[in-house]
A = this chain, B = another copy of it.
Amino acid sequence: MSLLQVVPLGGCGEIGKNCTAVVQGEEIIVVDCGLSFPHEEQYGVDIVIPDMSWLVENKKKVKALVLTHAHEDHVGAIPYFLQILPDVPIYATPFTEALVRSKLQEKARNIEPNIKRMSFGDVISIGEMSVEPIRITHSIPETAALAIRTSHGIILFTADYKFDFSPVDKKLTNIKRFAELGEEGVLLLLSDSTNVDRKGWSLSESVVGRALEEVFAAAPGRVMVTTFSSNIHRMQQVVNAAKKTGRKVAIAGRRMDSTVALCQSMKYLDMPPAVYVKIDEIGKYAPGEVVILVTGSQGEPMAALSQMSRQEHRFLKIEEGDTILYSARPIPGNEGAIYRTVNRLIHLGAHVILEHDSPIHASGHGHQEELKMMVNLTQPFYVAPVHGEPRHQKLFERMLWDMGHVRHRIFLLANGDILNIDENKAWKAGHVRAGEILIDQAGGQEVGDRVLRERFNMAHHGVVIVAVEVDQKSGTFVGKPTLSAKGFCGEAKDLDSARAAVMDSVKGLSPAEVQDQSTLEDALCEPVRRIIGKEARQKPEVIPIILRT
């Protein structure tokens, strides 16, 4: 019987850009294809996608891309996936399909994806394997755990989940089905591990609804709520709370606007016409009658709330008496930008309520006891915690130990690891190429390592340009070398002494050396680096410009 392989290309050892391949013989099923966001030092990068070159090498084997849910970290890289694997069918629940299609509409009009509808209860045959989506609760509708039947047994992807027993859309997790699979026997459980460091149970989303209602009722003026654009349940609760407290709802933020429109049209969001108001008409209502859903919960510089905090928004101005709710949790690393925004908002007279001040946010990811419950239900033979950084995967392992799980049947996978499974055992068997591709969305270009290094260096030390003019025929200089700088915080005299050093260093060059590009570049740059390093203690990017005539 052929070997079974599981190969994560993203989402293992990180939170973001989830993408995992299940390989059986000549067939590959890919689960999710998401993006992540750059960290503070990846300058000028907009999004990060998985390196999918291994999939390209195995083009012929790839039979399907199956999606668990419509969050960016699970579907955001699909436009890039389709550029390299345009014919691969994509399986998705109706809601996920709709969001992916609208995303493709705006990002890649030229691509016509082959998306196949997937409904809970279906069992979809894909080559020798089959996929069964199972309903599970998360912060976005129609999230599907995936039971993939292989010749060696069931591989169960939990997807991102929590056990919410009072979900906003009243659609409960199919616990029974997970128990049945456990009884039948789950070979490998790939489990969400994001909140393993949080004890107990997560808050039910419906608890947030009550908290929002209280704030809306008590707020003297306008209320603004910021959350993730994809958090439909949260937005539904904002609408409900607004209705109950006699407020109108408007939306500020392009991405949120389009999501809401789509969800309304598909009846995933119930927003009565009596409640909804176009943002440019919100001024007609008294402050006490207004709720505005705004983008910017993570301090994104161009989001509506951030623009307001800088008083740069086209028409929305923060006023004394405004109440602003951060109905979201800061993603680690964003705290600085978020608090700078919050302070500006408060400075403009707003009352700001943060996630930790009152229960106005509930995580979409289950806490420790929920993760245990899933393991308990599904009784997996092998377990691999995914959707977590190493610190989460490690804690998940310790949790499994506490549960008495056999140590050698736990696998902490990194992106690119190959997990082999045969009749008798499972083992890590080397790596495939995997990693991050940094994308500059404006130009659609990839930002390479060299470019990043140069940007980092220029950001911290600036640039010094040393230019000289050469008579190529005679191999002699025309005029003297000139130096100029940008983003450089040394003094003029530092540049002067560097210039003097350059003069010395080029003086001794033979015509042949002057005619040779790299020799002359070194003769120009080395003294600049040396002198600037010694006198200004700076390490600027030094750029030689040689004009040859």
Measured CB to CB, the residues of A under 8 A from B are: 13, 39-40, 43-44, 197, 332-333, 335-337, 339-340, 342-343, 346-347, 351-352, 354, 356-357, 389-391, 394, 440, 442-448, 451-452, 454-456, 458-463, 465, 467-469, 478-479, 482, 484, 486-491, 536-538, 541, 543, 545, 547-549
Contact = CB atoms under 8 A, between A and B. Distances in A.
A479 B543 contact: no
Contact of A489 (B448, B461, B484): B448
Copies of this polypeptide in the complex: 2
B339 A332 contact: yes
A487 B458 contact: yes
25 contacts: A13-B343, A39-B336, A43-B459, A44-B459, A44-B461, A44-B462, A332-B336, A346-B391, A347-B390, A443-B490, A443-B538, A445-B490, A445-B491, A451-B488, A454-B486, A455-B460, A458-B458, A458-B459, A459-B459, A463-B486, A467-B547, A469-B547, A479-B548, A486-B543, A545-B545
B339 A479 contact: no
Contact of A543 (B339, B443, B484): B484
A444 B460 CA distance: 14
Nearest to A350: B394
Contacts of A337: 40
Q: Give the 10 A-B residue pairs with the shortest CB-CB distance, closest first.
A: A333-B336, A459-B459, A454-B487, A44-B460, A455-B487, A442-B537, A43-B459, A332-B335, A458-B458, A443-B537
Given A333-B335, A357-B197, A463-B458, A479 B547 contact: yes
Contact of A455 (B13, B342, B354, B459): B459
B479 A549 contact: yes
Given A44-B459, A346-B390, A455-B458, A467 B339 contact: no
Contacts of A488: 451
Contacts of A543: 463, 465, 484, 486
